[in-house]
């Protein structure tokens, strides 16, 4: 529960809540879609830096990463709450986004050492699904506080601190409190061998493409609804639907874990793609937009869980490192996609941007149909 809460905080209340609060922040601080896309792109790069730190340190310093995740999430959120201009908001948003990147690989390692091996995959899926309740909480906060977006960032800071503290209190490190430095997970802190990258070539491409495809909804989803004339409360409810879809991954985790990871990937990426098209097709029809957001939330969260299972199936000893690297690529794709969406919306409108995102998502889904999970990589 504590690990899920940290995911809920760093992803749902902090990183992915940017798009939720974006219209209100733009109204007050007066910046356009291009600037919003640039900030989101920089924030995604900060996430990648955090996840790369996780790649290097997860096996030996998981607790340190958890501490840093709580701190960056809190200080970044406080900075956004206090921002009086776009130039003050931007660095705070970038700092806050690093929290999620730091948290993910650390939690993979903490779950691995705290669970029986037979229960690890399902536990990872449940922890990863913490994004869902985080998004629901962010949406409910926004409903209560609209247009007082600053208070929502204060709440995100408080939850980040509390969740990180709970993980640290409940974790039971190996060797009487020392972090791992030996055993099969020693490989997690080193660059994988060439065979690892060959075995991961299709999932690497899939993660990058899915990240780019998801950027439209995460960064411009609520702005799309607002542009179509949707009432502010209804557009916030759509964000709650995103979170509810992510939470729906929990009851479907057992079914998804029974599928081969590449099949689970194709199914979840297809849901992400179709829901992106559905959202831009009827943005002014509230029931349709809510259903599309629910499906997108499920597809995105299930896809990230499939990435974890996919890399673990290739090389379980490097599962934490594999997760970090794949999530880096996922969010690197979001960084590219966020900048492209901002530019495309300004030049061609929302329909063009979201349709292009769906085409990219369909390509990502198709890669799972041709992938073959290779044997575990040794060394």
187 pLDDT more than 70: no
pLDDT of residue 183: 41
**180 inside domain:** no
Prediction pTM value: 0.80
CA-CA distance, 70 to 93, in Å (whole number)? Answer: 14
What per-residue confidence (pLDDT) applies to 186? 43
pLDDT in tens, 47-59: 989 988 887 887 7
178 falls within a domain: no
Residue range 281-328, pLDDT digits in tens: 989 999 999 999 999 999 998 998 899 888 888 887 777 678 778 888
Query: Are 227 and 350 a contacting pair, CB within 8 Å?
Result: yes
**Could you give the number of structural domains in the chain?**
1
pLDDT score of 133? 87
CB within 8 Å of 144: residues ≥ 6 apart: none
Looking up residue 143, the CATH number of its domain turns out to be: 1.20.1250.20
Domain residue limits at 36: 2-172+188-370
Q: Is residue 70 part of a domain?
A: yes
């Amino acid at each position: 529960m504590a690990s899920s809460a940290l995911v809920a905080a760093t992803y749902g209340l902090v990183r992915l809540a940017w798009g939720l609060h974006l219209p209100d922040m733009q109204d007050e601080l007066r910046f356009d879609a291009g600037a919003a896309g640039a900030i989101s792109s920089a924030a995604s790069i900060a996430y990648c830096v955090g996840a790369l730190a996780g790649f290097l340190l997860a096996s030996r310093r998981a607790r340190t990463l958890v501490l840093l995740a709580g701190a960056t999430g809190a200080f970044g959120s406080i900075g956004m709450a206090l921002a009086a201009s776009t130039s003050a908001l931007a660095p705070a948003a970038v700092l806050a986004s690093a929290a999620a990147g730091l948290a993910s690989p650390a939690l993979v390692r903490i779950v691995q050492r705290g669970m029986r091996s037979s229960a690890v995959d399902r536990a990872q899926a449940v922890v990863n699904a913490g994004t869902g309740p985080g998004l629901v909480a962010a949406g409910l906060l926004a409903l209560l506080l609209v247009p007082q977006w600053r208070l929502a960032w204060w709440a995100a800071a408080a939850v980040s601190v509390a969740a990180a503290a709970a993980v640290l209190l409940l974790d039971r490190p190996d060797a009487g409190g020392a972090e791992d430095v030996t055993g099969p997970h020693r490989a997690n802190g080193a660059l994988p061998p060439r065979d690892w990258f060959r075995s991961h070539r299709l999932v690497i491409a899939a993660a990058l493409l899915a990240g780019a495809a998801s950027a439209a909804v995460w960064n411009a989803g609520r702005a799309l609804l607002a542009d179509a004339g949707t009432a502010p409360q209804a557009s916030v409810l759509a964000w709650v639907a995103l979170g509810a879809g992510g939470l729906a991954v929990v009851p479907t985790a057992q079914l998804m874990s029974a599928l081969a990871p590449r099949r689970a990937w194709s199914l979840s990426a297809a849901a992400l793609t179709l829901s992106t098209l559905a959202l831009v097709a009827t943005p002014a029809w509230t029931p349709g937009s809510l259903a599309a957001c629910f499906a997108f939330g499920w597809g995105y969260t299930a896809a990230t869980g499939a990435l974890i299972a996919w890399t673990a199936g290739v090389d379980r000893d490097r599962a934490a490192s594999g997760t970090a690297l794949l999530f880096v690529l996922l969010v690197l794709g979001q960084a590219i996609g966020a900048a492209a969406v901002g530019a495309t919306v300004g030049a061609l409108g929302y329909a063009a941007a979201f349709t292009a995102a769906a085409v990219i998502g369909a390509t990502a889904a198709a890669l799972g149909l041709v992938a073959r999970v290779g044997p575990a990589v040794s060394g």
